């Protein structure tokens, strides 16, 4: 399978590039970024040409698949191009600046029948199957996900300051990190009509035009949900201040770090299971599974419609608590 990568100055590029390089039946045939100097190291590793314009790259190379990244403000246009040219792709969330853009590209992909995956990688997390196995048939009452990431100086260090400018990113940690957990609430409450019931945004730590801390409340499917995110933790990339709590009729599931899930029954019997619980570990599986799905003619694990649903909920939270 001949693949290309678009917008490789994005800090998540290694999550797609490295697994693709390890696959024997995959060849990276081109990489692109408006800043060619940021793309050249990847081109050198893959032994492929580098392009400033992804449109020229796709026209010349005619790839079988594209991993699309870049600035959030560029993503919807990238998606429209790939859909119009019937190029199957996976696009880094949130795929757009706002709910209207996210819904537009979802509608276009569905109408054109184009494979368009979104890396909602927590869908691969063992916590989902564990809850479904142990609490089978039990209603969920309460879901809480706290996921506070590193401080904003990391975006300066990685030369991606667009990520902390609302005009280019669409939002801060709620959109960038929280979207995973809004999606996870949708997965664990299938068919629920989730409604945003409250929100709190703050930029008091960094005084930027995006939030650096957010709390979002939702209800639906008989459950209450809370998603808390931030750019506040003095930690390196991919290290988080995290805590997950899920209450079902008969069990309480709790995670306080990226290694162990605690399970407590109503009669206070406690067991634990070791498992990965943060996003970075699931990207290689996403790459392998997504390329297998497009090759086999199967649907992606999450698509642009799933992304649009999550973005729409997050936009409601932003409207409730403007900075």
Tens-digit pLDDT profile for the chain (323 aa)?
999 999 999 999 999 999 999 999 999 999 999 999 999 999 999 999 999 999 999 999 999 999 999 999 999 999 999 999 999 999 999 999 999 999 999 999 999 999 999 999 999 999 999 999 999 999 999 999 999 999 999 999 999 999 999 999 999 999 999 999 999 999 999 999 999 999 999 999 999 999 999 999 999 999 999 999 999 999 988 899 999 999 999 999 999 999 999 999 999 999 999 999 999 999 999 999 999 999 999 999 999 999 999 999 999 999 999 99
Helical (H) or strand (E) element with 315: helix 304-320
Q: Tokens 């990226």 label which residue? A: 258
pLDDT at 236: 86
pLDDT at 14: 98
Classify strands 260-265 and 270-274 as parallel, antiparallel or unpaired.
Answer: antiparallel
Total number of residues shown for the chain: 323
Do 138 and 132 contact (CB within 8 A), yes or no? no
pLDDT at 304: 98
Distance between CA 109 and CA 307 in Å, rounded? 12
pLDDT at 173: 98
**Token code pair at residue 178:** 């929280």
pLDDT at 237: 83
**Token code pair at residue 98:** 């706002």
**Token code pair at residue 296:** 């086999």
pLDDT at 96: 98
Positions of E strands within the chain = 2-6, 27-32, 50-51, 65-68, 89-91, 116-117, 140-150, 195-202, 213-220, 223-233, 241-248, 251-257, 260-265, 270-274
pLDDT at 144: 98
Full set of structural domains in the chain with CATH:
2-120+284-303 (3.40.50.720), 121-278+310-320 (3.30.360.10)
**Token code pair at residue 36:** 């060619």
**Token code pair at residue 319:** 């409207």
Largest Cα separation within the chain, whole Å, is 64
Q: Which of 14, 17, 8, 3 is nearest to 70 (CA)?
A: 8
Do 88 and 114 contact (CB within 8 A), yes or no? yes
Distances (CA, A) of 53 to 14, 36, 58, 184, 234: 20, 9, 9, 34, 36
């Amino acid at each position: 399978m001949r693949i290309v990568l678009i917008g490789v100055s994005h800090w998540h590029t290694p999550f797609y590039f490295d697994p693709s390089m390890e696959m024997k039946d995959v060849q990276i045939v081109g990489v692109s970024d408006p800043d060619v100097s940021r793309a050249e190291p990847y081109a050198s590793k893959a032994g492929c040409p580098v392009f400033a314009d992804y449109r020229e790259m796709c026209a010349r190379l005619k790839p079988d698949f594209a991993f699309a990244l870049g600035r959030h403000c560029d993503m919807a246009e990238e998606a429209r191009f790939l859909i119009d040219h019937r190029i199957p792709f996976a696009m880094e969330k949130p795929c757009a600046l706002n709910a209207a853009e996210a819904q537009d590209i979802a509608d276009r992909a569905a109408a054109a029948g184009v494979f368009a995956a979104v890396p909602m990688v927590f869908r691969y997390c063992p916590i989902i199957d564990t809850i479904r196995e142990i609490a089978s048939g039990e209603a969920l009452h309460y879901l809480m996900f706290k996921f506070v990431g590193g401080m904003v100086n990391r975006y300066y260090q990685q030369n991606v300051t667009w990520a902390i400018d609302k005009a280019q990113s669409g939002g801060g940690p709620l959109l960038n990190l929280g979207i995973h957990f809004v999606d996870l609430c949708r997965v664990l409450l299938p068919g629920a009509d989730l409604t945003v019931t409250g929100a709190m945004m703050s930029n008091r730590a960094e005084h930027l035009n995006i939030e650096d801390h957010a709390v979002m409340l939702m209800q639906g499917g008989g459950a209450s949900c809370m998603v808390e995110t931030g750019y506040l933790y003095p930690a390196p990339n991919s290290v988080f201040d995290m805590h997950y709590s899920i209450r079902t009729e008969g069990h309480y599931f709790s995670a306080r770090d990226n290694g162990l899930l605690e399970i407590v029954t109503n009669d206070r019997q406690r067991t634990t299971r070791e498992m990965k619980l943060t996003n970075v570990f699931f990207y290689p599986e996403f790459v392998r599974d997504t390329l297998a799905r497009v090759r086999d003619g199967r649907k992606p694990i999450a698509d642009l419609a799933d992304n649009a649903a999550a973005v729409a909920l997050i936009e409601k939270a932003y409207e409730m608590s403007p900075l």
